[in-house]
Structure 1
């Protein structure tokens, strides 16, 4: 039996899919390049376990109710024909609320978001224009000229909302609406280019291009490919910026007004997918090479231990006291999800999982009603102040937790992070199989092989524990390939079929198992998680285990405050010491000088320090001179040999670390001391 299993198991580092595309789902039509992985319809993946809890918290919190109390969306909404918000914030909210409604199959939330989709479709102008009522229309004019229209940018977000809605419902009105809209854009984009109203549309044209190709794959209308070329030419040249390298270096040095939109971290997070999106049309490998070079450079010069690049609001180097805007996290996540589909490159799978499980959860409160505009990696207090941010003066509110603290774009945009991550845990393969490329407790229902609909239950407490079980439910035996990512951080993984060992495999590969699957077949993936240290800015060290980065657990004192302009917010002060360096033996022999404690699994898990499901204990010494200055715990100077040479307490202390995503106060980038 084992020999038979092994004979049909094929595992390779780089698997070249056939040119034939999966006919069950929306795949690329010629002449677009075949996709490496194909996105599944919204609702095909369902959350389970702790992930289901996270999405329910969002439904019961801001994501499910933002339109009921946030004045900008609640009052006279422009996307429902009113005079209120007709720009980005309503579509931002819908871009998370609509997928949440279908992921949870929540009738109330479905009804809430449906009215916005219906209004956009019902109020499309005869010439194809969509969006809020324009100034010209309120003056009694018809939109006979594109000059009387309005910004292209917010429409790009609303189109993403409608795409997701279509995959969930198959509502043909969406295709007619988008076809007419893109015909309008095709006829007017040269007279009214992307940059006409705002630079935001110019910087974010990749999202426009992405939707054009999506629609082409459904209708096959050739004008869409020509429109795509024009949109690419009018968009900020992210391909050149990423590939030619001077940009990312200049961004580390230049904080002036000069070309600041090219340094704006949210623009970068959205723009980074542009080379991959356009590659579908041109099939030029230089496009993907530019993307790979740019991502590597970006993380080298601006990357932080939690997996994101700095951005407060601009790219701002790799010092652990720089900030990260919440919008930039969720937009970079979405870009990665698209890049995975197009390139199949495991680099982006690893990057997506790291930022999702570390940077994302720490920036919102337990009830998902408050968030930070900027988080800080080494964040030993949360308070009003200007700190070291490139955008320091927004009433000093960029670092505190609150519903509206800082700019409110994040109040509306944060909702797409967890929802889209959930819907992209699984992809279809071009040869009518399925791929588990990202891991979380979930289930998938999809057509495979000969068209049989199967479901797979993914039982796991990942990213906290190291075992993942996939149970296949099928009405009959069916032949299809099943691909599973082996994370790069795992030295050696083990695959089992129905409890019997198949083989071990090194990390950084995609395991492919093609066989005739029977009902109840179970694949188990064991991913041993080794504790290790990694080197970051200023010779600092972070402690990692598996996909998670660990941070010093600091006792927190929360204080609720209020200012007239922005309402309530929360200040958090440390109640325990934080100024520790790691002793040298922790770096030299990490596994021997750390101990890991895993708490019992709970589906009621919340990302906070109290409920942290794992603790790592290790040894540190206090650095007396490392203190908060101007609200910032700036990194102690470390010699090139990696050691801090200033005064250090003689006493060694046991310190406790928790997953970075569970922290609000923390040190993650530690100096090393003798």
Structure 2
């Protein structure tokens, strides 16, 4: 039986011929080659912790990343290429994956990427997409490989195009994740077309019309209406589909539907940690339902791409929120163990009885090597590196540099007219409101820095002059940089809120009196700036399993050792920053490590447990069962057991 959307392939030329463009629409912002953006400070330490953890060592003992497993090995390899540009120990690991595939490609007749010896597996397209992303990153970091990589990719395009025209190569995964291949084709078109522009665009069209029609998935009339696309990670990857489609259709509706689909996804399934819920399939708003780690990193990637195509600051705001909350929350501080599913209210990490996840196993919230499924083990290392590689962008004319994601970074680039620019950002953000940026340039130009939507009363001081209020346009503050050195200091304070402000185009001074976040059962979540705050439940741990080849790879059970059943009075929320240390603790995303917290008055309440391992929904209109006290809330990403959505009381 042919895949359900495959019959559209025959209609593809007719569907797209009318009014079709022969050139791709330009991007709003251009990415900077891998290796040109470097993390520093606590963020560099985070990369080192990841490299020294499961992400940097699983190739030594974990069978799922072997070269005989094309999907697992390719996902891991693609992530290694990015991480390797920051942490050099990865370089030999990358080579061990890349060269057995690339070396014979220049002479291989059929141009197929990947091993096909001694296998009866059908030749499907999707499993090769992660490798192609990794190959592009490899080329950017090591331009001497350009001819080899570009030749290999173009040969594969010929094979893939013929397969698509013949109705071959499209399985269920290729139907939902075709946009990844389209992005590779568009990279070839933009930088190495080799006179094959028509073939590249034809292949893009066939991929779209043999795949899931995402414009229907994100329709307001039938939100998330196609059964296969209810899968959370497919949804995360599919967020890239319509912006990639727009580049060859030039159809504004593609962008409008993509933007609305993003908003609907978070309206119906969003989490205060920035991400949405899907314990395999989309899971609604209840705080006990799960979010898959693969979903977290894929949504970060998609949000970055949406911003590059559309330029709406709401995408960048949410990616930053996800990165500084949902991503670290689902890994142990040393990054040797990860969850399959994280919960907003998570009172234990253990074999759950009964299981609140209808489509995943009861072991899904254990921190370990591969709880439930192995995919997140090989895929999670892309999160931090992709965030870093998209932290700076260029305008399409290459005359300006854009600092998109805030944190400790530096970048060295050559802008238009051979303008050599270096930008160094010294900050402890998001654990501080202050960012000091030093820019050296051979010629004057306009530098842009994103001002997040949650900032109130932000200021900028350039070269020691009078402090001025920030005045962003479409989320970006323009800074006039002179030839030589320019130094500017940003102060980006934010109020404590019980709603997460989500910007739309062109925010300047948001109206925080209108911020509301509807959580189920009348509960609330606490935010300040990019950080979501939660009650860090004291815990003990039990080692459930230890890998025989690598004893640091352990499965951990966490149990609460103190009460967590509190209601809070939101009128008493108070930001409590500590004196900033010269160097932040390592690893920063672990219990007691961040130097910021929020205090709040609370009282114990009756809050039942569902089964014996997870919290019931937050009680509505609770009554105190004990005296009021002050509790401390800390950044969500540093908690491993937590309450992130609280019942509300008035304590007078």
Cα offset for 1:630? 4.0
Deviation track 1:512-558 (CA, whole Å, cap 9, x = no partner) reads 43645233311211101211112322221111110000001221111
Instruction: After TM superposition, list the pairs within 5 Å mapping 1:36-115 onto structure 2.
Output: 36-74=28-66, 77-78=67-68, 85-86=69-70, 88-104=71-87, 106=88, 108-115=89-96
Does the C-alpha gap of structure 1 residues 564 and 260 become closer, same or farther in structure 2, counting only changes over 3 Å? farther
Does the C-alpha gap of structure 1 residues 184 and 365 become closer, same or farther in structure 2, counting only changes over 3 Å? same
Distance 2:571 2:318 in 1: 29
Which residue, 237, 259, 279 being the options, matches 1:312?
279
1:204 aligns with 2:161: no
Cα offset for 1:564? 9.9
Does the C-alpha gap of structure 1 residues 585 and 492 become closer, same or farther in structure 2, counting only changes over 3 Å? closer
Does the C-alpha gap of structure 1 residues 193 and 581 become closer, same or farther in structure 2, counting only changes over 3 Å? farther
State the TM-score, normalized to the length of structure 1: 0.85
Distance 2:618 2:201 in 1: 53
1:223 aligns with 2:199: yes
1:399 aligns with 2:365: yes
Cα offset for 1:151? 2.0
Q: Helix, strand or coil: the match of 1:614?
A: coil
State the TM-score, normalized to the length of structure 2: 0.88
Residue 591 (structure 2) aligns with? 609
Does the C-alpha gap of structure 1 residues 565 and 272 become closer, same or farther in structure 2, counting only changes over 3 Å? farther
Does the C-alpha gap of structure 1 residues 121 and 541 become closer, same or farther in structure 2, counting only changes over 3 Å? same
Residue 123 (structure 1) aligns with? 104
Distance 2:84 2:548 in 1: 32
Residue 11 (structure 1) aligns with? none
Residue 292 (structure 1) aligns with? 259
Does the C-alpha gap of structure 1 residues 66 and 207 become closer, same or farther in structure 2, counting only changes over 3 Å? same
Distance 1:598 1:609 in 2: 18
Q: Helix, strand or coil: the match of 2:446?
A: strand
Residue 384 (structure 1) aligns with? 351
Distance 1:398 1:440 in 2: 32
Residue 243 (structure 1) aligns with? 219
Distance 1:407 1:528 in 2: 41
1:276 aligns with 2:236: no
Deviation track 1:27-52 (CA, whole Å, cap 9, x = no partner) reads xx972112111000000100100110
Deviation track 1:556-608 (CA, whole Å, cap 9, x = no partner) reads 1111112999994111111111111112533xxx4xx5544455242443110
Residue 529 (structure 1) aligns with? 494
Distance 1:461 1:153 in 2: 39
CA contact under 8 A between 1:554 and 1:578: conserved in structure 2? yes
Residue 469 (structure 2) aligns with? 504
Deviation track 1:259-293 (CA, whole Å, cap 9, x = no partner) reads 54211100000001101111111121111110111
1:234 aligns with 2:210: yes
Instruction: After TM superposition, list the pairs within 5 Å mapping 1:238-637 onto structure 2.
Output: 238-248=214-224, 260-385=227-352, 386-393=354-361, 396-431=362-397, 432-474=399-441, 476=442, 478-501=443-466, 503-505=468-470, 509-513=474-478, 515-534=480-499, 535=517, 536-562=519-545, 568-583=554-569, 585-586=571-572, 590=573, 593=574, 595-597=576-578, 599-606=580-587, 607-637=589-619
Does the C-alpha gap of structure 1 residues 485 and 595 become closer, same or farther in structure 2, counting only changes over 3 Å? same
Q: Helix, strand or coil: the match of 2:444?
A: strand
- The size of the alignment, in residue pairs, is 599
Does the C-alpha gap of structure 1 residues 98 and 563 become closer, same or farther in structure 2, counting only changes over 3 Å? closer
Deviation track 1:332-369 (CA, whole Å, cap 9, x = no partner) reads 11111111111111110011001111000011112222
Q: Helix, strand or coil: the match of 1:673?
A: coil
Deviation track 1:146-200 (CA, whole Å, cap 9, x = no partner) reads xx852211101110101111111122211111011001111221224443xx311
What is the Cα-based RMSD across aligned positions, in Å? 2.2
Does the C-alpha gap of structure 1 residues 131 and 384 become closer, same or farther in structure 2, counting only changes over 3 Å? same
Cα offset for 1:455? 1.0
CA contact under 8 A between 1:488 and 1:509: conserved in structure 2? no
Cα offset for 1:438? 0.7
1:187 aligns with 2:199: no
Deviation track 1:73-96 (CA, whole Å, cap 9, x = no partner) reads 34xx32xxxxxx12x111111121
Cα offset for 1:625? 3.6
Deviation track 1:105-158 (CA, whole Å, cap 9, x = no partner) reads x1x42122123222222233312111112446x8xxxxxxxxx85221110111
Cα offset for 1:502? 5.7
Deviation track 1:282-338 (CA, whole Å, cap 9, x = no partner) reads 121111110111111111110011011101011010111110000000111111111
